[in-house]
């Protein structure tokens, strides 16, 4: 079997993601490889696929034992024999597995690093042929990384203990130079074939929100975005997690909490509820998430600022692993910076390390204050050269709010920093500018400097915001100390002389609901009703088998089914994410639901699957598609006429028009509602059963009222 055959047969994919093929071929040639790929880049497949084709057994070292079962379940679902060894196993089960591994029953064995050099495992290794050792989350070996695990230092000894040194492959999503250097050195990779994939995650929408009331913002966000879909809310402390989860629940937004101080059982239960889609929102400290494979997380909101850019990228990156548009929102408040500084302050680290932590923190602070493209800020941090000045998919690029000239304000601040001798931090400088009678200011005689009180009319928070913005623009330098001091830079002079003008967004501290303008990475013209039926089936299967729903099929796979209505083996296998084993296990059931649906609804305009179009969707194709529909609308055609013209269902046409409307075009929905009596019946039904799902509304109404009718009334009355 060649690699393409394996890709299609086991994983149900037709093409490799960027970087996968190179690494897989390297591993198959027996080379060491180092794969640096962003979350969602498809690292696991890079070692799972060669594992199938290589002669012996592949050992996968992974830090998170809670994930192993999931990964192994996924493998088995695809027909790849795998198992895991970790501390959750009872002795008896442990021995049984060792025997089965000896007997050649498995191709892939996941193992926790703590187990590697134990007596029983070392004995086992002597008796089997290890073809490859794959190290997942390889940055855990580096003390520079954010996830250092001492047990990872056991790995080199383990590799050296294997008589015939196997190929080693290491994978991580962390890419700072220090970390990469340490991974190579400490693991002892031999002339590794490297693949570093760009860090951009185009489907993620980044935004920083300076909300005066974070909770109010959060609530509004949750009520208006991605309802019924999964999301993570990260908080800095256990206390905040508890309080926030409680409040959300009290206010009708079901959420589970997760933090390191919870009883293990409860923590696991909450994690499971989130993973199995029981509760859609999890409020957590950073203890949650490492290695969480849930592909359909639609938003990650940081209620507090994390400790540095790397952590932010990692945590935010848990959104949208499936490539679908997802939000990463950071709620910023200056108090969080203070909290993080206190944490560094109270640590017992060397001065060098401490300085490094302050620098890293400052980068994230700059990220919160920049007016420029947020995506580019992230990419630059990871050493990537951004392609364009604007990405058009982040809060800053899409926020076209008016820019105001703040050169005068900047000059006053810079000259104050100069007047106080470049010896004070933000607080004192701001107090001097505001003419504060604070003891420290008076004691140091700072009320005598010429800039004392020259910005009285500005609030403290606005002044701090401007200072931070000037830092992010390099007009001020903030020393990387425990008590950062503000200094002038080589760019300060030109600003003071008026040679450089400084601009800032007008609505400095305004709260805004997030805006979205994103392209779909997967098919978006699918039948929602069929999709929900397929989801239901998936849920039942996953519950019966005790597997997370996405181990059975991803949402994106179900959406394809709901778009292309596959009714036989060939068509079903053609769906992205369906491999042979999954077809054998579930094909019949899913095809059954699809056929029943077609019969019941009389669906007759089934489209062939156009691979090109789905796998390489571009903004243009999408826009054109919507625009073509809108053009028909403009010609005054009825819904059915537009559907006939465009060769889509009327439901899809409604979705196109919805999209046009959210893009700013006018759609007069009432044009499609021919019977006012119908409309009032529908509104009454909605008043009785609510808006959460369409089905209960439909069930309240006479047969002749269709889902389309209901949707049109909802849209016409602005109910969504």
Quote the Cα angle for 39-45-49, to 5°: 165
- Whichever of 321 and 538 has its CB closer to ligand ADP, that residue is 321
DSSP 8-state assignment for residue 394: B
**Shortest Cβ distance from residue 350 to ligand ADP (Å)?**
33
In this complex, which beta carbon is closest to ligand ADP, that of residue 194 or of residue 293? 293
Nearer to ligand ADP, 321 or 625 (CB): 321
Q: Which of 583, 626 has the CB closer to ligand ADP?
A: 583
User: Which residue of the chain is nearest ligand ADP when measured via CB?
Assistant: 42
Dihedral, 703, 708, 713, 718 alpha carbons, nearest 10 = 150
Distance CA 415, CA 249 (A): 50
Q: In whole angstroms, how close is the CB of 54 to ligand ADP at the nearest point?
A: 18
- Angle between the N-to-C axes of helices 91-102 and 119-127, in degrees from 0 to 180, rounded to the nearest 10: 20
Which residues sit at the interface with ligand ADP, rule CB under 6 A? Answer: 13, 15-17, 20, 37, 39-45, 293, 295, 321-322, 554
Given the complex with ligand ADP, which of 16 and 106 has the nearer CB atom? 16
CB of 345 to ligand ADP, least distance (A): 34
92-115 burial, b at 16+ Cβ within 10 Å, e below that, comes to eebeebbeebeeeebbbbbbbbbb
> From the CB of 537, what's the least distance to ligand ADP, in Å?
20
Tokens of 600: 């019941």
Least gap, CB of 320 to ligand ADP (angstroms): 10
Q: Which residues of 334-362 are buried (b: 16+ CB within 10 A; e: fewer)?
A: bebbeebbeebeeeeeeeeebbbbbebbb
- CA atoms within 13 Å, Cβ hemisphere of 488: 20
Residue number, 39 or 333, with CB nearest to ligand ADP: 39
- Considering beta carbons, is residue 16 or 332 the nearer one to ligand ADP? 16
| In the complex, minimum distance from the CB of residue 68 to ligand ADP, in angstroms, rounded to a whole number | 14
Cα separation of 2 and 17, whole Å? 17
Which of residues 38 and 306 has its CB atom nearest to ligand ADP in the complex?
38
In the three-class reduction of DSSP (H, G, I as helix; E, B as strand; rest coil), residue 83 is classed as strand
Q: In angstroms, what is the minimal distance from the CB of 321 to ligand ADP?
A: 5
**Of 107 and 554, CB closest to ligand ADP:** 554
Chain centroid to Cα 106, Å, comes to: 32
Q: How far is the CB of 41 from ligand ADP (least distance, A)?
A: 4
Measured in whole angstroms, the distance separating CA 456 from the mean position of its chain's CA atoms is 42
Nearest partner of 496 among 560, 419, 387, 572, judged by Cα = 419
- Cα–Cα distance, 48 to 58 (Å, whole number): 8
In the bound complex, what is the minimum distance in angstroms from residue 7's beta carbon to ligand ADP? Answer: 6
Q: What minimum distance in Å lies between the beta carbon of 710 and ligand ADP?
A: 33
**What does the block give as tokens for 443?**
């004691």
Tokens found for residue 423: 């010896």
d(C-alpha 84, C-alpha 89), whole Å: 9
Closer Cβ to ligand ADP, 17 or 487, answer by number: 17
The DSSP annotation for 276-338 comes to TTSSSEEEE-TTS-TT---TTEEEEEESS--SSHHHHHHHHTTS-TTSS-EEEEEE--HHHHH
> Which residues touch 679 (CB under 8 Å, ≥6 apart)?
673, 713, 716
């Amino acid at each position: 079997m060649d690699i393409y055959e394996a890709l299609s047969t086991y994983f149900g994919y037709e093409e490799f993601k960027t970087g996968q093929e190179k690494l897989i071929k390297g591993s198959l040639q027996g080379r060491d490889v180092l794969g640096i790929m962003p979350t969602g880049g498809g690292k696991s497949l890079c070692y799972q696929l060669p594992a199938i084709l290589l002669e012996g057994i592949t050992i996968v070292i992974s830090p998170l034992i809670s994930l192993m079962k999931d990964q192994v379940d996924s493998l088995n679902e695809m027909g790849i024999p795998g198992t895991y060894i970790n501390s959750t196993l009872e002795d008896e089960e442990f021995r049984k597995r060792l025997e089965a591994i000896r007997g050649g029953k498995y191709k892939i064995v996941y193992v926790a690093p703590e187990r590697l050099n134990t007596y029983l495992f070392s004995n086992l290794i002597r008796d089997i042929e290890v073809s490859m050792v794959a190290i997942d989350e390889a940055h855990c070996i580096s003390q520079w990384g954010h996830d250092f695990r001492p047990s990872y230092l056991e790995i080199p000894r383990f590799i050296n203990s294997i008589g015939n040194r196997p190929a080693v492959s290491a994978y991580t999503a962390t890419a700072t130079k220090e970390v990469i250097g340490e991974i190579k050195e400490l693991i002892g990779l031999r002339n590794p074939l490297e693949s570093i994939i760009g860090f951009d995650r185009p489907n993620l929408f980044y935004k920083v929100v300076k909300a005066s009331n974070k909770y109010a913002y959060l609530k509004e966000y949750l009520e208006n975005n991605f309802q019924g879909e999964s999301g993570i809310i990260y908080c800095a402390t256990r206390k905040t997690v508890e309080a926030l989860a409680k409040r959300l629940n009290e206010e009708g937004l079901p959420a589970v909490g997760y933090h390191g101080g919870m009883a293990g059982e409860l923590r696991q239960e909450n994690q499971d509820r989130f993973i199995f889609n029981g509760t859609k929102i999890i409020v957590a400290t950073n203890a949650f998430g490492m290695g969480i494979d849930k592909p359909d997380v639609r938003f990650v909101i940081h209620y507090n600022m994390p400790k540095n850019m790397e952590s932010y990228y990692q945590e935010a990156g848990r959104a949208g692993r499936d490539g679908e548009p997802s939000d990463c929102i950071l709620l910023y408040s200056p108090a969080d910076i203070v909290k993080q500084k206190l944490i560094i302050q109270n640590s017992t680290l060397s001065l060098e390390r401490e300085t490094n932590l302050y620098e890293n923190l400052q980068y994230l602070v700059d990220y919160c204050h920049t007016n420029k493209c947020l995506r580019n800020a992230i990419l630059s941090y990871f050493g990537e050269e951004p392609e364009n000045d604007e990405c058009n998919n982040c809060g800053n690029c899409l926020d076209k709010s008016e820019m105001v000239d703040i050169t005068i304000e900047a000059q006053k601040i810079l000259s104050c920093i100069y007047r106080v001798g470049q010896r004070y931090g933000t607080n004192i400088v701001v107090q001097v500018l505001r003419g504060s009678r604070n003891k420290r200011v008076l004691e140091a005689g700072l009320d005598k400097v010429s800039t004392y009180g020259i910005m009285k009319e500005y609030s403290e928070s606005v002044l701090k915001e401007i200072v931070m913005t000037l830092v992010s623009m390099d007009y001020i330098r903030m020393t990387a100390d425990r008590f950062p001091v503000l200094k002038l830079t080589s760019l300060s002079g030109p600003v003071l002389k008026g040679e450089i003008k400084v601009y800032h967004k007008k609505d400095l501290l305004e709260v805004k609901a997030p805006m979205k303008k994103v392209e779909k990475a997967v098919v978006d013209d699918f039948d929602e009703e069929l999709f929900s039926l397929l989801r239901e089936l998936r849920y039942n299967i996953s519950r019966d088998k005790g597997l997370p729903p996405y181990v059975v099929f991803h949402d994106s796979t179900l959406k394809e089914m709901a778009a292309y209505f596959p009714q036989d083996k060939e068509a079903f296998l053609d769906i992205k994410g369906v491999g042979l084993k999954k077809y054998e296990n579930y094909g019949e059931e899913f095809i059954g639901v699809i056929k029943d649906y077609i019969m019941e609804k009389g669906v007759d305009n089934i489209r062939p699957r156009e691979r090109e179009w789905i796998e390489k969707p571009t903004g243009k194709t999408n826009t054109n598609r919507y625009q073509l529909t809108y053009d028909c609308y403009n010609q005054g055609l009825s819904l059915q006429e537009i559907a006939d013209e465009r060769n889509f269902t009327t439901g899809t046409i409604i979705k196109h028009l919805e999209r046009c409307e959210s893009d700013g075009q006018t759609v007069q929905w009432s044009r499609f509602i021919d019977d006012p009596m119908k409309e009032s019946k529908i509104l009454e039904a909605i008043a009785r059963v609510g808006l959460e799902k369409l089905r209960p509304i439909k069930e309240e109404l006479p047969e002749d009222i269709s889902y389309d009718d209901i949707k049109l009334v909802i849209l016409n009355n602005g109910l969504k």
